[in-house]
Amino acid sequence: MRLPARLPFASARAAIVRSQSRRLAIPGSLAYGYFEAPERGIARARQLDVRIDERALTAKAPKYREQDFIDPEEMIDDFIEIFCPEITRGLADTYLERIRDTVEAADLVYECGSL
């Protein structure tokens, strides 16, 4: 089945929202890998000279090793707590909304899992 070259933004957004509601974090993704093997996340943060909460990362690792799929909202909260300890979820959501608004104003379609 071929899709039209351009879908109306509202239709595309509805399709993305539907797909996002069923999507869960996938083992093998970079963020998932940092949770699953915290030594990689810690090493990468040190390489980039970024401050993270190493104890929280190590404490949450068993959750990611024992489950194949994690709720994406829970993973986002964990990621912000560990890798962005100086910001809040609200601040992250504000900036993501600004990105969405900018993309929508430009009449582009995006898949928010890549942001």
**The pLDDT of residue 111:** 64
pTM: 0.60
Question: Which residues in 72-99 are b (16+ Cβ under 10 Å) and which e?
Answer: beebbebbbbbbbeeeeeeeeeeeeeee
pLDDT digits (tens, 9 = 90+) for 62-101: 988 887 677 878 888 898 899 888 888 899 889 888 988 8
CA nearest to 72, candidates 34, 20, 17: 20
Asked if pLDDT for residue 109 goes beyond 90, the answer is: no
- What are the residue boundaries of the structural domains of the chain, listed by start? 9-114
pLDDT digits (tens, 9 = 90+) for 7-41: 444 444 444 443 443 344 566 777 778 888 899 99
**Backbone φ and ψ of 2, nearest 5°:** -95, 135
